[in-house]
Amino acid sequence: MAPHLNNVGTTKERILSTAEVLFARRGFDGASLRQLTAAAGVNLAAVNYHFGSKEKLIEQVFRRRLDALNARRLDALSKVIGTDDTTLEDVLDAYIRPALELSHDDNGALFMRVLARAFAEHDDTLRHFLSENYGHVMRQFTAEFARLLPQLSKPELYWRIDLVTGALTHAMSGFGMIQRKSGVSETVHLEQTAQHLIRFAVAGLSHP
Amino acid sequence: MAPHLNNVGTTKERILSTAEVLFARRGFDGASLRQLTAAAGVNLAAVNYHFGSKEKLIEQVFRRRLDALNARRLDALSKVIGTDDTTLEDVLDAYIRPALELSHDDNGALFMRVLARAFAEHDDTLRHFLSENYGHVMRQFTAEFARLLPQLSKPELYWRIDLVTGALTHAMSGFGMIQRKSGVSETVHLEQTAQHLIRFAVAGLSHP
DNA sequence: CGTATGATCAAACGATCGTTTGAACACGTT
DNA sequence: AACGTGTTCAAACGATCGTTTGATCATACG
């Protein structure tokens, strides 16, 4: 067996999914294009040919996952709002569950680590990109939280959403103490995680 | 004015405090020893002469701050436990406030970003180092949480502590939405942050 | 004064990085 | 068969990295 982590799909797809794995494992700087292309089983020059540069490859890794994630988030949100009996749990579920389900398919969980790493890197270019392309999603959820928590001042609400975001990012990036027990199936573990996150977020958002 | 960020103290001290700034700003890989020594106003070879290697320098940057931080945490904890009327707020205060006060002195806030970055990097060497040297602090706090929250199962408690840790790390690393308003003094902002964090953590830990 | 000792210096080392180049290849169209 | 287009390839480019070297400086001791 050749030392390839990936040998299916087109060259572009192999680079993308291999990049996701290696960026999560070693970081953006830590994963070199030589390691990446070797693991993907493609030529070194293929990255610059198909993506233009390493930085544009990173952007594509983000775009591929986040487009799907935020589309599903907005879809789930649209299904729970507009009625009189919308609960905080419903909105949080629409926010959290798509992210957890993303961890379901191959390498999806690794992408969450990529995302957490990107947050920690404080890269302004990346933050602009995130705000530019997906800021409207966060804005829509924030508006819904504000409607469901009218007793909170705007600064107070922003504080709490920020802390919830920290907890979610931390949990989804998977570097906490909690690991899946060997006897628990992936599906069950996902459901347990969702339950913990939502209950925790409800308590943190709505306490007096 | 020469392009030095730092020109006081011994060579070793100048390297340490300059490293703290640059690691927070550009990451461990991103900050090169040439940038670092130039900013510190010392010779390139000084790092390897005084610390042995870049990795050992990183370890010293951590050790200098974490020794003080965890000593103050344990000191604060010892002052609130042992009595019958110890509250969850007391223990959380002992955990959170030393970290926030660390952000008070020069570059202390930057160190929190270094710490958050280190968490995100998933570096096993670093995690071993943290667990080896400061694990007993976390264990002591966890034991106290368990005593104050006897209704929670052990897995449930670990889950909640994990999520609280995520919120704290996120908030202290300062990459959230919340920024200090220009009219608010540093001291006031610190107190507000502590209040938000503690109330949020209490709600998240103790909800039914 | 002479001489150890520790600190600082400019310069170079080998390694690895992202990127570029130009030839070779595959293959549908004329 | 000849050509054009898009892709893959080995090889090299210049830049930068962490580290090492050997000379030079400062200073305290016999």
CATH number of the domain encompassing residue B106: 1.10.357.10
Tell whether B1 and B84 lie within a shared domain. Answer: no
Tell whether B197 and B150 lie within a shared domain. Answer: yes
A 10-49: CB under 8 A from B: 25, 27, 29-30
- In whole angstroms, give the CA distance from residue B24 to residue B185: 23
Residue B178 is predicted with a pLDDT of 52
Residue B3 is predicted with a pLDDT of 44
Residue A1 is predicted with a pLDDT of 37
Report whether B32 contacts B25 (CB < 8 A).
no
Spatial CA neighbour of B81 closest among B148, B34, B33: B148
Measured between beta carbons, which residues in chain A are less than 8 angstroms from residue B200? 159-160, 163, 204, 207
Spatial CA neighbour of A94 closest among A107, A109, A79: A79
Under an 8 A CB cutoff, do B160 and A30 touch? Answer: no
Distance from A158 to chain B by nearest Cα, in Å? 7
Which of A36, A52, A68 represents a domain boundary (last residue)? A52
- In whole angstroms, give the CA distance from residue A129 to residue A30: 22
**Domain extent at residue A19:** 1-52
Tell whether B121 and B185 lie within a shared domain. Answer: yes
Residue B6 is predicted with a pLDDT of 62
A47 touches strand C (CB under 7 A): yes
- In whole angstroms, give the CA distance from residue B89 to residue B31: 39
- A48: which 2 tokens? 């610059």
Report whether B133 contacts B121 (CB < 8 A).
no
Tell whether A48 and A88 lie within a shared domain. Answer: no
- In whole angstroms, give the CA distance from residue B134 to residue B70: 7
Q: What percent of chain B has pLDDT over 90?
A: 54
Report whether B86 contacts B78 (CB < 8 A).
no
What average pLDDT does this structure show over B35-58? 96
pLDDT in tens, B51-95: 999 999 999 999 999 999 999 999 999 999 988 899 999 999 999
B 113-132: CB under 8 A from A: 113, 116-117, 119-122
Tell whether B104 and B11 lie within a shared domain. Answer: no
Which bases on strand D have an atom closer than 7 Å to a protein beta carbon?
Answer: 7-12, 16-22
Determine the residue among A54, A122, A198 to mutate to test chain B binding: the one whose Cβ has the most chain B Cβ atoms within 10 Å.
A122
Residue B39 is predicted with a pLDDT of 95
The dihedral of CA A13, A17, A20, A22: what is its sign? negative
Tell whether B118 and B69 lie within a shared domain. Answer: yes
The dihedral of CA A103, A13, A33, A65: what is its sign? negative
Residue A205 is predicted with a pLDDT of 95
Tell whether B192 and B96 lie within a shared domain. Answer: yes
Tell whether B184 and B93 lie within a shared domain. Answer: yes
B12 touches strand D (CB under 7 A): no
Least confident of B14-28, B101-115, B185-199: B101-115
- DSSP conformation class of B185: -
- In whole angstroms, give the CA distance from residue A125 to residue A81: 33
Among A159, A175, A200, beta carbon nearest to B196: A159
Tell whether B30 and B8 lie within a shared domain. Answer: yes
Report whether A158 contacts B178 (CB < 8 A).
yes
Residue B1 is predicted with a pLDDT of 38
Q: What does the mean pLDDT of chain B come to?
A: 86
B7 touches strand C (CB under 7 A): no
Which of A52, A73, A93 represents a domain boundary (last residue)? A52
- The CA–C1' separation of B42 and C5, in angstroms, is 21
Res. B131: pLDDT tops 80: yes
CB atoms within 10 A of CB B151: 8
**What's the CATH number where A24 sits?**
1.10.10.60
Tell whether B43 and B123 lie within a shared domain. Answer: no
Which of A35, A52, A69 represents a domain boundary (last residue)? A52
What average pLDDT does this structure show over B129-150? 93
Tell whether A175 and A140 lie within a shared domain. Answer: yes
Residue B172 is predicted with a pLDDT of 76
The nearest alpha carbon in chain B to A178 belongs to: B159
Domain count, chain B: 2
B15 touches strand C (CB under 7 A): no
Residue A186 is predicted with a pLDDT of 67
The nucleotide minimizing the C1' distance to residue A31's CA is: C17
Q: Rounded to the nearest 5°, which phi and psi values hold at A73?
A: -65, -50
Tell whether B104 and B78 lie within a shared domain. Answer: yes
Q: One digit per residue, pLDDT tens: chain A, 208 residues?
A: 334 456 678 999 999 999 999 998 888 989 999 999 999 999 999 999 999 999 999 999 999 989 999 999 999 999 999 888 999 999 999 998 888 787 766 676 778 878 877 776 666 777 788 889 999 999 999 999 999 999 999 999 999 998 998 888 877 776 445 555 666 666 777 788 888 999 999 999 998 8
Measured between beta carbons, which residues in chain B are less than 8 angstroms from residue A160? 196, 200
